Copies of this chain bind each other. A is one copy, B any other.
């Protein structure tokens, strides 16, 4: 793992998560404006849902909630002039995308890759389970797709992603996106992003002035 600044806000994201998409698109600009560093940390919801006894997304298990989620995101996306469609199948199999994000840990293009992957899925409706789709995303960013896909399939990356998911659970993460401040304070959901940044900003400013 890259060294994360002691005062970073950790952004826990899941490539298949609709609300993570909303946050991934805007977190970098908002964090820059707030003077807050962000640690982008991919994890998988599957094992966390499984531990709660769920075999799939709660948006599939509870249809009224699933229909509402789509409408809620349509409204928010329209306000933000952002495209949105629910990919099929939903949730997408996000393992490879998450592993690639781990493989890009510390790389300056990690946020670009994450944003482009979300847009491929939720704006363009492409299947991010398909290595060809992800190779295309990597290639458009000028990254070496073949090398990264090979690295993503290696044991160190696989283990690092399992570690991320376990670390997420240990922090109290139960959904995505989640933001954890450097003091452990946890915020869940795109609608708590501003609050999370303000929290981290107070910590950062406090350290800077002491």
Question: Using a CB–CB distance below 8 Å, which chain A residues touch chain B?
Answer: 52, 62, 64-65, 67-68, 71-72, 75, 169, 172-175, 185-188, 191-192, 195
Contacts and interface: CB of A to CB of B under 8 A. Distances in A.
Contacts of A192: 72
A175 to B, nearest CB: 8
Nearest to A66: B174
B62 A186 contact: no
Contact of A174 (B68, B71, B187): B68
Given A52-B62, A62-B52, A174-B62, A68 B195 contact: no
Given A71-B186, A186-B71, A64 B191 contact: no
Contacts of A173: 64
Nearest to A52: B62
A61 to B, nearest CB: 8
User: How many copies of this chain sit in the oligomeric assembly?
Assistant: 2
Given A65-B175, A67-B172, 18 more contacts: A52-B62, A62-B174, A64-B169, A64-B172, A64-B173, A64-B174, A65-B174, A68-B172, A68-B174, A68-B186, A68-B188, A71-B185, A71-B186, A72-B187, A72-B188, A72-B192, A75-B195, A191-B191
A186 to B, nearest CB: 6
A17 B71 CA distance: 23
20 contacts: A52-B62, A62-B174, A64-B169, A64-B172, A64-B173, A64-B174, A65-B174, A65-B175, A67-B172, A68-B172, A68-B174, A68-B186, A68-B188, A71-B185, A71-B186, A72-B187, A72-B188, A72-B192, A75-B195, A191-B191
When A and B form their complex, which 7 residue pairs have the shortest distance between CB atoms, in order from nearest? Answer: A64-B174, A191-B191, A65-B174, A64-B172, A52-B62, A68-B188, A68-B186
Contacts of A72: 187-188, 192
